[in-house]
């Protein structure tokens, strides 16, 4: 251990940019972990989503474009545009505030911001389908046109 500290100090002096990058990555990872643990939005696997749909009568909201929706969507899902959620123009979605709501996008990333907005707008149970429709298709789960 006595030999390690001078070597580590020397390394840090010679590679400050690398050390700064590692510290930044570490801070970002910790921040994301804390954010995910404190978030009211839960990320669902395909099996969990199927269970909620079948057993809890969950509402599936598809946030993709109209063309993507028409090419194939989860049975019973409602088409909705993320900008409507952002602008609080919820319309028919408002009636589902107390139900389980699963947001679906193409890959699972864009639905997360809309899910956060819905929780702020009073929705009690908001979920995001992990990997979105791409993950759903990859497991050969059914889509309707």
Residue 1 banded pLDDT, cuts 50, 70, 90: low
Q: What integer best gives the mean pLDDT of the chain? A: 90
Answer whether 99's CB lies under 8 Å from 125's CB. yes
Average pLDDT rounded to a whole number, residues 13-39: 88
Whether 35 shows a pLDDT value over 80: the answer reads: no
The proportion of the chain whose per-residue pLDDT surpasses 90, expressed as a percent, equals 60
Same domain as 81, residue 49: yes
Domain membership of residue 144 (yes or no) is: no
- Position 83 scores a pLDDT of 86
Residue 134 vs residues 54, 63, 104, 138: alpha-carbon distances, Å:
21, 13, 10, 6
Predicted confidence (pLDDT) per residue in 47-78, tens digit: 999 999 999 989 999 999 999 999 999 999 99
Same domain as 54, residue 30: no
Average pLDDT rounded to a whole number, residues 23-44: 86
Average pLDDT rounded to a whole number, residues 85-92: 82
Same domain as 48, residue 26: no
User: Which residue, chain included where needed, has tokens 């408002």?
Assistant: 94
Q: Domain range spanning residue 30? A: 4-37
Average pLDDT rounded to a whole number, residues 90-118: 89
Same domain as 81, residue 19: no
Task: Report the domain count for the chain.
Answer: 2
Same domain as 31, residue 97: no
Domain membership of residue 145 (yes or no) is: no
Task: Please give the backbone phi and psi of residue 130, each rounded to the nearest 5 degrees, phi first.
Answer: -60, 130
Residue 127 vs residues 35, 91, 144: alpha-carbon distances, Å:
15, 19, 21
């Amino acid at each position: 251990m006595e030999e390690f500290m001078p070597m580590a100090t020397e390394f840090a002096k010679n590679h400050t940019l690398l050390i700064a990058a590692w510290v930044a990555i570490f801070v970002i990872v910790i921040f994301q972990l804390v954010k995910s643990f404190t978030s009211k939005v839960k990320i669902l696997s395909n099996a969990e989503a199927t269970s909620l749909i079948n057993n809890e009568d969950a509402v599936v909201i598809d946030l993709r474009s109209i063309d993507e929706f028409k090419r194939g969507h989860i049975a019973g899902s409602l088409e909705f545009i993320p900008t409507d959620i952002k602008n609080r123009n919820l319309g028919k979605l408002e009636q589902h505030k107390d139900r389980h709501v699963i947001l679906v996008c193409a890959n699972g990333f864009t639905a997360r911001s809309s899910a956060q907005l819905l929780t702020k707008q009073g929705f009690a149970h908001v979920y995001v389908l992990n990997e979105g429709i791409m993950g759903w298709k990859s497991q050969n789960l059914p889509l309707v046109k």
